[in-house]
Amino acid sequence: MTLDLTPDQLLSTTRSVRKRLDFDRPVPRTLIEECVDLAVQAPTGRNRQRWHFVVVTEPAQRHAVADIFLRALSQGSGQPLTERDAWRMDYHASSTARVFDGLRHLAANIHRVPVFVIPGVEGRTDHAPVPVQAGTWGSILPAVWSFMLAARARGLGTTWTTAHAPLERELADVLDVPYDEIMLAALIPLAYTIGTDFRPAPRIPRDDVLHWEQWKQRPNGSSGEALLPEGG
């Protein structure tokens, strides 16, 4: 059974679900397999199909993955925020606050998540030139997004996380993944959602991201180049 959603509804309501994951309801293997079947219909560079999906459901394995998630989460550091980032994050301040509240909830309950999906792609991009990075990530991201859309259509919730990144090699060891050959692109919690009534998220105006024929100055006058302190 799939939800009665139009394509536009599916695309606009596939949210990063953190607080509304049902930790107590098992997810049938058949649903996960259906989502993977749809995921691998996504475009892939030169038809190389280098994608892989590691699904973790066994309790001891889930506990090990959850432990890595929590330890890596405290070690992660993103790029410094630009003035433009801060403007976008503050445009709907309550929305950003909900994101971080959801992250705290997920971290507090990560050991209860019934399924982890770890997508991987053949070929590492460590220190690779931009064209190589673009080709590699462009061959895994569409497939993962298709997986997440398929999950939403089946009443399942997901959220893309890269919290594992500082401990990717350790995660690869736990999953018996050949680290030097496979890049673990994400760590995705998967569960049924509590309710299915998700709505489109508040976003910055279309005119702030849409460019016709050439680049234009941003509405708030920022070029996006000035940096704020990490976490500012």
CATH number, domain containing residue 34: 3.40.109.10
Give the number of domains in the chain.
1
d(CA 75, CA 194): 30
| Predicted pLDDT at 227 | 39
Would residue 217 count as lying in a domain? no
Q: Which residues touch 212 (CB under 8 Å, ≥6 apart)? A: none
Alpha helical stretches, state H, the chain? 7-13, 29-39, 59-73, 83-91, 93-109, 130-137, 141-153, 168-175
Q: Which residues touch 102 (CB under 8 Å, ≥6 apart)? A: 16, 18, 19
Distances (CA, A) of 90 to 85, 98, 182, 199, 227: 9, 12, 37, 20, 16
Would residue 230 count as lying in a domain? no
Better-predicted residue by pLDDT, 68 or 80: 68
Would residue 215 count as lying in a domain? no
Return the structure tokens found at 223. 């070029």
Return the structure tokens found at 9. 């509804």
Return the structure tokens found at 144. 């993962």
Region for residue 28 given its phi and psi (left: phi exceeds 0; alpha: psi -120 to 50; beta: otherwise): beta
The answer to whether 10 and 155 have CB atoms below 8 angstroms apart is no
Kindly report the pTM of this predicted structure: 0.92
pLDDT at residue 62 is higher than 60 = yes
Would residue 85 count as lying in a domain? yes
Would residue 223 count as lying in a domain? no
Would residue 106 count as lying in a domain? yes
Average pLDDT of the segment spanning 67-89: 88
Better-predicted residue by pLDDT, 161 or 228: 161
Query: Per-residue confidence at 230, pLDDT binned at 50, 70, 90?
Result: very low
d(CA 175, CA 64): 10
Domain that holds residue 203: 7-208
The answer to whether 62 and 111 have CB atoms below 8 angstroms apart is yes
| Predicted pLDDT at 32 | 98
| Predicted pLDDT at 1 | 87
d(CA 211, CA 24): 45
